[in-house]
């Protein structure tokens, strides 16, 4: 479940729009937009390929972490990370 939450968060972060630094520095408080939704920005739409790349990166991160857990005391954690990676990769190739 944590792998799915982390991957959804990574996808959500990738959809965020970059903030313009100049816009943040130059506005006076009294010129700030007010009201519900005044500061909302349209989110980026990820292509299917971009989303798949993010899911692959999340799976690769777990496999890499599992590979570093070589001590017998960490065998359970390494197995859990490999299982999480397998679940994520199944979303890419459901067959």
Closest-CA residue to 7 (of 49, 43, 57): 57
The pLDDT tens digits for 67-91 are 999 899 999 999 999 999 999 999 9
Query: Number of folded domains in the chain?
Result: 1
pLDDT computed for residue 33 by the predictor: 64
Predicted TM-score of the model (pTM): 0.74
Question: Is the model's pLDDT at 95 over the cut of 70?
Answer: no
The pLDDT tens digits for 3-40 are 999 999 999 999 988 766 545 555 566 666 666 666 66
Contact, 37 vs 66, CB < 8 A?
no
For residue 38, what are the domain limits? Answer: 2-92
Q: Which residues make Cβ contacts (< 8 Å) with residue 91, sequence separation at least 6?
A: 55
pLDDT computed for residue 37 by the predictor: 60
The pLDDT tens digits for 57-69 are 999 999 999 999 9
**Rounded-to-10 torsion of CA 28, 29, 30, 32:** 90
pLDDT computed for residue 42 by the predictor: 78
């Amino acid at each position: 479940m944590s792998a799915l939450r982390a991957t959804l968060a990574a996808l959500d972060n990738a959809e965020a729009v970059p903030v313009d630094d100049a816009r943040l520095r130059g506005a006076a408080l009294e010129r700030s937009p007010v009201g519900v939704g005044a500061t909302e920005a349209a989110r980026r739409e990820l292509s299917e390929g971009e989303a798949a790349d993010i899911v692959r990166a999340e799976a690769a991160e777990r496999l890499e972490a599992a590979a570093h857990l070589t001590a017998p005391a960490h065998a359970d954690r390494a197995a859990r990370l490999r299982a999480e990676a397998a679940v994520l990769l199944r979303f890419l190739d459901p067959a």
